Amino acid sequence: MSTPHNPLGDRQISRKSLLKAAALAGAVPVLIGGGTALARDTAAAGGTAAPLTPDCHDGDAPTGEQIEGPYFKPGSPLRTSLVTAGTPGTPLTVSGYVFGRNCAPISGALLDFWQADTNGNYDNSGYTFRGHQFSDANGAYTLTTIVPGLYPGRTRHIHVKVQAPGQPILTTQLYFPNEPRNATDTIFDPALVMTVRQVGNGREASFDFVLNVNGTPKPSTSPTGSSSPSPSSSPGGTTTWKAGTSYKAGDQVTYNGVTYVCIQAHTAFVGWEPPNVPALWSRR
- Where do contacts with Fe ion occur on this chain (CB under 5 A)? 69
Residue closer to Fe ion (CB basis): 68 or 136: 68
- Closest CB 185 distance from Fe ion, rounded Å: 10
C-alpha atoms less than 13 angstroms from C-alpha of 16 in its C-beta half-sphere: 23
- Closest CB 142 distance from Fe ion, rounded Å: 21
Return the SS3 of 190. helix
68 neighbors 159 (Cβ within 8 angstroms): yes
Residue closer to Fe ion (CB basis): 56 or 116: 116
Give DSSP secondary structure letters for 6-31: -TTGGGPPPHHHHHHHHHHH---SB-
Residue closer to Fe ion (CB basis): 9 or 74: 74
16 Cβ partners below 8 Å, 6+ apart?
56, 58, 60, 97, 99, 103, 208
Element (H, E) at 111: strand 110-114
Considering only CA atoms, give the Rg of the chain.
21
Nearest alpha carbon to residue 118 among 157, 150, 80: 150
Residue closer to Fe ion (CB basis): 69 or 91: 69
Q: What is the C-alpha to C-alpha distance for residues 80 and 98, in angstroms, rounded to an integer?
A: 15
Beta bridge partners of 142: 95
Element (H, E) at 254: strand 252-255
Q: How many CB atoms are closer than 10 A to CB 169?
A: 14
- Closest CB 173 distance from Fe ion, rounded Å: 7
- Closest CB 221 distance from Fe ion, rounded Å: 36
- Closest CB 262 distance from Fe ion, rounded Å: 47
- Closest CB 118 distance from Fe ion, rounded Å: 14
- Closest CB 71 distance from Fe ion, rounded Å: 6
